[in-house]
Amino acid sequence: MLDEQFADHYIKHGYAVIENAVTVEQLKPIVSAAGKIVDDFDVEKHRSVFSTLHQDKDRDRYFVESAEAVHCFLEEGALDSEGRLNRPKNQAINKFGHAMHDLVPEFAAFCRLPIFLTAMRAVGFAVPELWQTMYIFKQPKIGGEVRWHQDASYLIADDPGVVGVWVAMEDADRSNGCLWMQPGGQQSPLREIFEVTDAAPTGVLRQLDDTPWPDGSQAVPIEVSAGSLVVFDDRMPHYSSQNQSAKSRQAFTLHFTESGTAWSKLNWLQRRQLTPFVLS
């Protein structure tokens, strides 16, 4: 059970933290499954970079197809000017996603830990449905900035929308690129939308509203220890800086809707083959 403070904080501020919600022991199976995914990744075959700094113009078919697969994406800073890796593969990957909960047993088991259902019930979902999972490395020295954004721009669903859960796989603080949020920012307008259309089969980002992103006086760093969960509203503006430190800042994320919520056909992420992943 979560106390009332959790739900109150979530409603008021648009996010809430559950410190040390899972143990380091419970993280271990997905850490080792992640290691195997990286080992098996053929970097010669797929040289797709994930950066948030170019208006999402570098999305490709490999990205769109990751909705129902497990695909690895490289850090921009891991390639030299000729497009060759400038470091070992296991220090070059930005993230992988987005269907580990369907396709990798260790991740499926992790997503079924009772804390996720408890957290989703606390924010008002009766039957939470899991749409995507991501494992983010935020590599030492080159872990790319994730620019200010709102998840509702990338995961388009009718009300009550999407709720994100960010699991700290390692301690996260300002030095290694922790999340930043704008308390109350879930009330702000949706600024952008990323849609897949016939004209843009790998998606295009469109501006909806010119409300500025939060500045330093409005944003707070979410510094948490490994095993903590950050639960946040899909309108919450959030950001993480480049990781200039010598340590990584790994995280695992899950995005839920209430089961049965209408999912836009314009979403880049479509689950056509996979069975709905529902918590109950």
Binding site for ligand AKG (CB under 6 A): 136, 138, 146, 151, 179, 238, 240, 251, 253
Measuring CA to CA, which residue among 165, 149, 166, 132 is closest to residue 63? 132
Residues in the chain: 280
Take residue 48 and report the two structure tokens written for it: 């797709």
Phi then psi dihedrals of residue 129, to 5 deg? -115, 130
Take residue 32 and report the two structure tokens written for it: 């080792």
Which CB atom, from 151 or from 258, has the smaller least distance to ligand AKG?
A: 151
Contacts of 137 (CB under 8 A, 6+ apart): 75, 93, 94, 95, 143, 248, 250
Measuring CA to CA, which residue among 235, 99, 67, 232 is closest to residue 159? 235
Which CB atom, from 41 or from 232, has the smaller least distance to ligand AKG?
A: 232
Least CB distance to ligand AKG at residue 60 (A): 19
Least CB distance to ligand AKG at residue 171 (A): 14
Residue nearest to ligand AKG (CB): 240
Which CB atom, from 131 or from 275, has the smaller least distance to ligand AKG?
A: 131
Which CB atom, from 83 or from 222, has the smaller least distance to ligand AKG?
A: 222
Least CB distance to ligand AKG at residue 115 (A): 18
Least CB distance to ligand AKG at residue 196 (A): 18
Which CB atom, from 184 or from 221, has the smaller least distance to ligand AKG?
A: 221
Q: How far apart are CA 62 and CA 280, in angstroms?
A: 32
Q: Coil, strand, or helix at residue 279?
A: coil
> Residue type at 246?
A
Which CB atom, from 240 or from 267, has the smaller least distance to ligand AKG?
A: 240
Least CB distance to ligand AKG at residue 1 (A): 26
Which CB atom, from 84 or from 144, has the smaller least distance to ligand AKG?
A: 144
**206 in Cβ contact with 167 (< 8 Å):** no
Residue the block writes with tokens 């891991």:
78
Least CB distance to ligand AKG at residue 199 (A): 26
DSSP alpha helices (H): ranges in 41-186?
A: 61-64, 100-103, 105-111, 114-122
Least CB distance to ligand AKG at residue 165 (A): 9
